[in-house]
Amino acid sequence: MLSSGSCSFQDHILGLFSNSAEAEANYAAARQRLLAALANWRNQTANSLSPDPDSSSPTNLLDYFEQLERTVIRNSADLASPLCMGHMSGIYPRFMALIGELILSLNQNLVKREASPVLTQVELETLAALHRLIYNQTSGFYLRHVQDHASTLGLVTSGGTLGNLTALWIARNLSFMPRHDFPGIEAAGMTRALEHYGYESAVIVGSRLMHYSMEKAAALLGLGTQNVLLLPVDRDNRLETSALQDCISDCATHRKRIIAVLGIAGTTECGSIDPLQTIAEIARAGNIFFHVDAAWGGPLLFSQQHRRLLSGIEQADSVVLDGHKQMYLPVAASALLLRDPTAARAIEKHSHYMLQEGSGDLGRRSLEGSRNGAALFFHAALRLIGEQGYGFLMEENLRKSRIMAELVRMRPEFELLSESQTNILLYRGLPLALRGRRMSPFSSEEHAVINAFNERLQKQQSQAGRTFVSRTTIALGNASPAAPLVALRAVITNPLLQQHHMQSVLEDQVSIMAELENQADRETSGCFAVHPVR
């Protein structure tokens, strides 16, 4: 075992992402061992059928891969580059490619136990490990529920959107359960459910910075996107809990059934974390389902230094984690965890030919039918990187985010827009005429000029392809949503990212800004100049 404080430990973790000669040699040896094992497996299970000698294909394998190299590989985004600081997924450890090859080669189907006897158990045990990370129940609790076909500690999903949708599906059904002669919303539909329970509508409540997947869920579940109630945020872009309390009171007055209150553990736009503890208390007092979207910030639980930021998450009824974000798994691997192992029974489905009641088939309580063994990505990562390794990576991400913030502050060409709780940084470039104005507020006209300037800056940076950050439009803090700012969005998550990479990104942007100023001078005599406001 390696100590988390040792250099060899840190070298080991970073080496999993490296393409050094030693890492390449280790990868090649592991791949050869895997291929040999797969060949042996195929030889043992192959039947006597031989391929049709008359069959043909439009091209041979080498020609096809040559074509892929020319058309696909050369034109794909290099999301693993430390100079690409705009996306929440990208680099993954080299061993993930081997795990992916194994998953494809085995081609198990997790919808049914008999089509995936071992990987079904791997998924159950992996979900138990993730559940323990959040809810920290006893060993006896996990031993009992992993083996109990009536229990569901969680589900592996193809992305956080499906995880959020499934959580809200469960929440909706639990809000309108069968009662007396009413068979439940799943059978009777929304109209009859509202009539039976005496409500005018059903709503979802959360911060205006919630992920857009919540609107998708509202549409698919029959609530309607107008019944996603977006509440204001405070100066730190966290849900205003006083607004939440007011909203709950208003919903009671107007007979609106709140099927779920949402908390965000790392907003996708700026990385802010809602006050989960307070939201949990408010939801519990109102007997309302509490869901936490921790797709981005969930892995902070691995860090003893930073897990306090997610205090209250253990009281959530459901939590979504995205493995392909800060757990560094391939796209798309996510997990939904459920505090109550019986909650998913509310969405259980059966059929005559499989998914029989009591079968233990995972497809009974999953929105997806056929799916591969993506749980193996989680399983491998939890053993090869481990909790200490992830803790180290999370602490590094936040440390590097602070470095990036300081680099932005030091440059007069930029304005830092938010002090993120996590590792997403918002800033913007300033036209030459507006630099040095950080301590005085900009007028609406000046904000419009800066917005246009940053749209062109980010677009040109993306087209040039040397470096990359993304762009968002956001009303920060308690500012009016009617006056949003265009912000450059740097996502600090690549383990190989160093300070010189951050400096290169900023220097590239400064160079582009100079080009934009020169171009504006030539074309319009200074379209980024600001005329005095009288």
Full 3-state SS string of 269-324: CCCCECCHHHHHHHHHHCCCCEEEECCCCHHHHHCCCCHHHHCCHHHCCEEEEECC
Last residue of a domain, one of 318, 351, 386: 386
Domain identity same for 333 and 230: yes
How far apart are the C-alpha atoms of 388 and 385, rounded to whole Å?
Answer: 7
Domain identity same for 129 and 188: yes
Task: Extract the tokens encoding 445.
Answer: 């006209």
Domain identity same for 133 and 166: yes
467 close to 372: Cβ distance less than 8 angstroms: no
Asked, for residue 2, whether it belongs to a domain, the answer is no
Asked, for residue 63, whether it belongs to a domain, the answer is no
261 close to 167: Cβ distance less than 8 angstroms: no
Domain identity same for 304 and 442: no
Q: What is the pTM of this model?
A: 0.88
The per-residue pLDDT for 51 is: 45
275: left (phi over 0), alpha (psi -120 to 50) or beta: beta
> What CATH number is associated with residue 503?
3.90.1150.170
For residue 226, the 8-state DSSP code is G
Identify each DSSP E strand in 307-437 by its residue range.
318-322, 334-338, 414-416, 424-429
217 close to 203: Cβ distance less than 8 angstroms: no
Domain identity same for 375 and 414: no
> What CATH number is associated with residue 177?
3.40.640.10
Q: In the chain, which stretches have pLDDT less than 50?
A: 46-55, 57, 352, 354-355, 530-534
Question: Mean of the per-residue pLDDT values for the chain?
Answer: 88
Asked, for residue 270, whether it belongs to a domain, the answer is yes
Task: Extract the tokens encoding 388.
Answer: 């200490």
Asked, for residue 287, whether it belongs to a domain, the answer is yes
Last residue of a domain, one of 366, 386, 406: 386
pLDDT tens string 297-312: 999 999 999 999 999 9
Domain identity same for 296 and 399: no
Per-residue buried b or exposed e for 197-235, using 16+ beta carbons within 10 Å of the residue's own CB: bebeebbbbbbbbbbebbbbbbeebebeeebbbbbbbbe
Other Cβ atoms less than 10 A from the Cβ of 534: the count is 3
Domain identity same for 122 and 231: yes
For residue 76, the 8-state DSSP code is S
Asked, for residue 136, whether it belongs to a domain, the answer is yes
Asked, for residue 282, whether it belongs to a domain, the answer is yes
Asked, for residue 54, whether it belongs to a domain, the answer is no
Domain identity same for 413 and 396: yes
Amino acid at 425: L
Other Cβ atoms less than 10 A from the Cβ of 321: the count is 30
491 close to 88: Cβ distance less than 8 angstroms: yes
3-state helix, strand, coil in the chain (%, to 5): 50, 15, 40
The per-residue pLDDT for 288 is: 98
Domain identity same for 349 and 454: no
Domain identity same for 359 and 396: no
Domain identity same for 515 and 403: yes
How far apart are the C-alpha atoms of 524 and 513, rounded to whole Å?
Answer: 16
How far apart are the C-alpha atoms of 173 and 367, rounded to whole Å?
Answer: 14
Domain range enclosing 315: 113-386
Strands 334-338 and 414-416: unpaired
Domain identity same for 444 and 339: no
Asked, for residue 21, whether it belongs to a domain, the answer is no
The per-residue pLDDT for 6 is: 66
Last residue of a domain, one of 386, 406, 428: 386
Total of domains in the chain? 2
Of 360, 445, 315, 346, nearest to 112 (Cα)? 360
Q: Can you list the alpha helix ranges (DSSP code H) found in 411-442?
A: none
Q: Report the first-to-last Cα separation within the chain, whole angstroms.
A: 69
Rounded to 5°, the CA angle 332-338-340 comes to: 165
Q: What is the CA radius of gyration of the chain?
A: 26
